[in-house]
Structure 1
Amino acid sequence: MPELIRQYVKIVDGFNRRLGRFIMYFIFVMAGILLWSSISKTFFLPSLWTLEMAQFAMVAYYILGGPYSIQMGSNVRMDLFYGGWSDKTKAWMDAFTVLFLIFFLGVLLYGGISSTSYAIEYGERSYSAWRPYMWPIKVVMCFGILMMILQSIAEFFKDIARIRGVEL
């Protein structure tokens, strides 16, 4: 494989590994927010922000953890046929199906950018009592989708290398 592709895979894998290892601790952030929600409802006045903030933390958790999940091969596969195939056949199938994933994520990113620009331009807010601005979480979502596209392209290159009998 050309050195440019090797460097691309190395950089994208390294960044998404660090991002994924960092973002996995957001589960504790979300748990802390929900714990505070329970405490404040029991002993103080209920907080308006806790439920929605926990939802935002969860969105960041799974959107930013997605590229790491793809990298680690933790995504769900239907093993009915796939499990019995050779590594080369699996690489062929993965190289083919990842193109559909990249297309889907591209459409998702296009819609996400459109929605984010709308949220920034018009100052979109949530309809809850807390009424937070929506653009920060939409920016996080667009960034996560972009990183998932970059990781999917890296996985495509790894599959092509596997088909050629080379490991990246």
Structure 2
Amino acid sequence: MKKYIAFIDVINYRMGRIAMYGVFALVGILLWSSISKTFFLPSLWTLEMAQFTMVAYYILGGPYSIQMGSNVRMDLLYGGWRKHTRLWVDCITVFCLIFYLGVMLYGGWDSTSYSLMYGERSPTAWRPYLWPIKVIMCFGIFMMIMQCTSELFKDILRLRGEEV
């Protein structure tokens, strides 16, 4: 379990640190959109490219967010519990998250294979292919599942009294 945790945590940490710079790409795209609308002809690609960049930014940053513990929790009850109780609850509730992500991955995989098979394009004036962002989404969701599994293993080890 410790080797799996170390391997997945390193990959997701690096991927998250790289994904953080996606916000600069997003700012650049939106800046160009503003400049082109003000001084030149409006660009057809900027709105959709900004949306694709934002999706990649938060999907690839999701595993890093889970790893750093910056995901949202319901602290109404959780915050007052003992550490041991929180670990048990985390061990149980992570299965709900893994199930949810698994359903998303199943749908994403089906949609991605359709997109690749038929050359699906966006119905906008720019008409980009949709498979690249769908592949990124599937990869990000898969890595979130791997990170959730890593977090489950960490909780199990902590319940055993081992250091992670």
TM-score bin, normalised by smaller chain: over 0.9
* Aligned-residue RMSD, C-alpha: 0.5
Tell me what 1:137 maps to: 133
Question: Is residue 7 from structure 1 mapped to residue 9 from structure 2 by the alignment?
Answer: no
Whole-angstrom CA distance in 1 between matches of 2:107 and 2:79: 35
1:1-168 matches, cutoff 5 A = 5-168=1-164
Q: What displacement does 1:157 show?
A: 0.3
Q: What displacement does 1:40 show?
A: 0.4
Q: Tell me the SS of whatever aligns to 1:125.
A: coil
What code does the residue aligned with 2:33 have?
A: S
Whole-angstrom CA distance in 1 between matches of 2:91 and 2:162: 15
Whole-angstrom CA distance in 2 between matches of 1:107 and 1:139: 16
Q: Tell me the SS of whatever aligns to 1:45.
A: coil
What is the TM-score with the length of structure 1 in the denominator?
0.96
Residues 110-135 of structure 1: per-residue CA shift (max 9 Å, x gap): 11000000000000000110000000
Q: Tell me the SS of whatever aligns to 2:122.
A: coil
Q: Tell me the SS of whatever aligns to 1:156.
A: helix
Whole-angstrom CA distance in 2 between matches of 1:166 and 1:36: 52
Over the matched positions of the two proteins, sequence identity in percent amounts to 69
What code does the residue aligned with 1:91 have?
A: L
Whole-angstrom CA distance in 2 between matches of 1:15 and 1:87: 27
Residues 106-160 of structure 1: per-residue CA shift (max 9 Å, x gap): 1110110000000000000001100000000000000000000000000000011
Whole-angstrom CA distance in 2 between matches of 1:42 and 1:17: 39
Whole-angstrom CA distance in 1 between matches of 2:92 and 2:27: 39
Q: What displacement does 1:72 show?
A: 0.4
Q: What displacement does 1:167 show?
A: 2.1
Which deviates more, 82-91 or 30-39?
82-91
What code does the residue aligned with 2:143 have?
A: M
